[in-house]
Amino acid sequence: MRPHRHARVVGLLAWLGIAVALLAVFLWYLSPHLVVEMAGRLWSCI
C-alpha cells in the first residue's frame, strides 16, 4: 500500500468510527429511560 492510500484508509475508518458512535448516542436518546439511568450512574460517580 502506498503511504497516501494508507492515510486515506485510516481517515475513512476514523470517520466511520465517529459516525457509529454518533448513531449509538442518537439511539440511546430514543430510549428516555436509558438516558435517565445513565445520567444517574454518571452523577453517582461524581
Reply yes or no on whether the pLDDT at 37 is more than 70.
Answer: yes
Domain count, the chain: 1
The C-alpha atoms of residue 15 and residue 21 are separated, in whole angstroms, by 10
Q: What is the pLDDT of residue 14?
A: 95
HEC assignment per residue over the chain: CCHHHHHHHHHHHHHHHHHHHHHHHHHHHCCHHHHHHHHHHHHHHC
- The rounded mean pLDDT for the chain is 87
Q: What is the pLDDT of residue 2?
A: 63
Q: Give the phi and the psi of residue 31 in degrees, each rounded to 5.
A: -115, 90
pLDDT at 35: 80
Domain range enclosing 11 = 3-45
* pLDDT for residue 31: 84
Higher-pLDDT residue of 9, 46: 9
Looking at the whole model, is its pTM more than 0.85? Answer: no
Mean pLDDT within 15-31? 90
